[in-house]
């Protein structure tokens, strides 16, 4: 099988798969391949935090033109996967000199499947772009064409807990990946000081308690397959839920907008995480650290893409607030405004290249040591 992910998350996804029990785990670009049975396919969809989709390859062929594509698709016995009364849709990813229109490839694939059913049964399955019984994924790289079944359906970042969002909410998979890259493991206190609709908080709580990422999701594509095994799925879900753990620290979110606070509280409630997460209306720049021990901060500040703010002043205030109010803290944030990092006035100890949607971004880490604040007061 193939788990698709974002650029920069390949290593953490491979680690997730290995810990989950996958065999023959191999990293690629924006994907990790692995081996597992049907039960593991269910488990991967339920539990993986940094996967966007799980694909199950069923055939590979070489394609040079529309005839070779059509014949290759016809060589697959489609009655194994779908019957004439069901519907399907074709998704295409292309990187080929022979084909330059993904819609053309999708159309030819559809024709080959429909024609096969007509020849055998006199009838044909329908196309349904919104709620298909089967999602077929065609990936053409040069001459290599891989035909896979999409086991997930809609992208796995649709966790099912988020109903209310702000202007530009962070993708759930991106939030989970940043948390894992930052080393968050639930062994301490956590703060998101600009929490928006609460996505980072929800993902942080699920990691801390080892709750499966997609436990709140309404459905997966494999539930419509001919070989769907409901009792196996239930067994796997129960075994994952038995591995959840207690959390003995605090997870807090601040946002200065009352509307964001209300949305975040709704989403945390939807995810059944309100025992673990508290959200307050606060302006981060007027706060200081509340807890005694170490603190783990991760947030997604505005980049100027979505809010009209004075970037220079805003990023300087981030640096000043961390310096003056947050000793003994590891502070991480993501920004696509790479220029604005200069104004933070602190040297990041790590910089990781990621993408937030189409925007190239950096996940940066600032280590605030205990004692720097005291030394400052003594000088005064």
Q: Is the pLDDT of residue 126 over 70?
A: yes
Q: Rounded to an integer, what distance in angstroms lies between the CA atom of residue 341 and that of residue 362? A: 9
For residue 219, give the 3-state DSSP assignment.
coil
Looking at the 3D structure of the chain, how many domains does it have? Answer: 2
Name the helix (H) or strand (E) containing 260.
helix 258-270
Give me the pLDDT at residue 112, please: 97
Q: Based on the domain organization, do 331 and 285 belong to the same domain?
A: yes
> Do 179 and 134 fall within a single domain?
no
> Strands, E, within the chain: which ranges?
2-4, 23-27, 31-35, 53-62, 87-95, 126-127, 134-141, 144-150, 189-192, 251-255, 277-281, 295-299, 329-335, 350-356, 359-368
Q: Would you place residue 332 in the very low, low, confident or very high pLDDT band (cuts 50, 70, 90)?
A: very high
292 and 201 assigned to the same domain: yes
CATH number at residue 19: 3.30.2130.30
Residue-wise pLDDT for 169-213, tens only, equals: 789 999 999 999 999 999 999 999 999 999 999 999 999 999 999
Do 226 and 373 belong together in one domain? yes
Question: Is 239 inside a domain boundary?
Answer: yes
Tokens, residue 258: 């009352």
Report yes or no on whether pTM surpasses 0.85.
yes
pLDDT band at 376 (very low <50, low <70, confident <90, very high): very low
Are 161 and 115 spatial neighbours (Cβ–Cβ below 8 Å)? no
* 128-156 confidence digits (pLDDT tens): 998 899 999 999 999 999 999 999 999 99
| Average pLDDT of span 71-83 | 96
Look at residue 177 and tell me if it is in a domain: yes
Range of the domain at 276: 172-211+222-379
Q: State the average pLDDT over residues 359-371.
A: 93
Q: In the predicted model, is pLDDT for residue 102 greater than 60?
A: yes
Residue 115 confidence (pLDDT) above 80 = yes
Give me the sheet containing 359-368, strands edge to edge: 277-281, 251-255, 189-192, 295-299, 329-335, 359-368, 350-356
Question: Which element (helix H / strand E) includes 185?
Answer: none
In this model, does residue 304 exceed pLDDT 60? no
Calculate the CA 268 to chain-centre distance.
17
Give the contacts of 234 (CB within 8 A, at least 6 positions apart): none
| 267: in domain | yes
Q: How many CA atoms lie within 13 A of 323 on its CB side?
A: 14
* Structure token pair of residue 83: 């019957």
pLDDT, tens only, 228-247: 999 999 999 999 999 999 99
pLDDT mean across residues, the chain: 93
């Amino acid at each position: 099988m193939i788990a698709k992910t974002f650029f920069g998350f390949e290593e953490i996804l491979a680690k997730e798969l290995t810990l989950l029990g996958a065999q023959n785990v191999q990293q690629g670009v924006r994907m990790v391949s692995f081996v597992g049975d049907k039960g593991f396919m269910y488990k991967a969809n339920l539990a993986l935090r940094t996967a966007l989709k799980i694909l199950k390859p069923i055939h590979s062929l070489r394609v040079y033109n529309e005839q070779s594509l059509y014949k290759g698709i016809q060589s697959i016995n489609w009655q194994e996967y779908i019957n004439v009364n069901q519907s399907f849709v074709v998704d295409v990813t292309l990187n080929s000199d022979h084909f330059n229109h993904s819609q053309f490839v999708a159309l030819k694939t559809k024709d080959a499947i429909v024609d096969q059913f007509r020849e055998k049964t006199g009838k044909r399955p329908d196309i349904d772009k919104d709620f298909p019984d089967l999602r077929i994924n065609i990936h053409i790289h040069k001459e290599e064409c891989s035909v896979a079944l999409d086991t997930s359906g809609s992208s796995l970042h649709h966790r099912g807990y988020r109903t209310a969002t702000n202007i530009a909410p962070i993708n759930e998979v991106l939030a989970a990946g940043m948390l894992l890259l930052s080393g968050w493991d639930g062994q301490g206190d956590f703060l998101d000081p600009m929490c928006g609709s609460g996505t980072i908080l929800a993902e942080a709580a699920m990691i801390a308690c080892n709750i499966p990422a997609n436990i709140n999701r309404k459905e997966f594509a494999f539930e419509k397959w001919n070989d769907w095994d409901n009792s196996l799925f239930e067994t796997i879900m129960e075994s994952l839920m038995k591995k959840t753990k207690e959390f003995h620290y605090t997870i807090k979110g601040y946002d200065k907008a009352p509307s964001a606070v209300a949305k975040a509280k709704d989403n945390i409630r939807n995810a059944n995480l309100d025992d673990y997460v508290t959200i307050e209306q606060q302006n981060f720049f007027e706060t200081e650290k509340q807890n005694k021990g170490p603190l783990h901060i991760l947030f997604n500040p505005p980049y100027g893409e979505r809010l009209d703010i004075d970037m220079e002043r805003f990023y300087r205030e981030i640096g000043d607030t961390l310096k003056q109010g947050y000793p003994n803290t590891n502070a991480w944030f993501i920004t696509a405004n790479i220029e604005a990092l200069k104004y933070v006035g602190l040297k990041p100890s790590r910089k990781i290249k990621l993408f937030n949607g189409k925007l190239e971004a950096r996940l940066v880490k600032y280590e605030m040591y205990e004692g720097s604040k005291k030394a400052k007061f003594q000088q005064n």
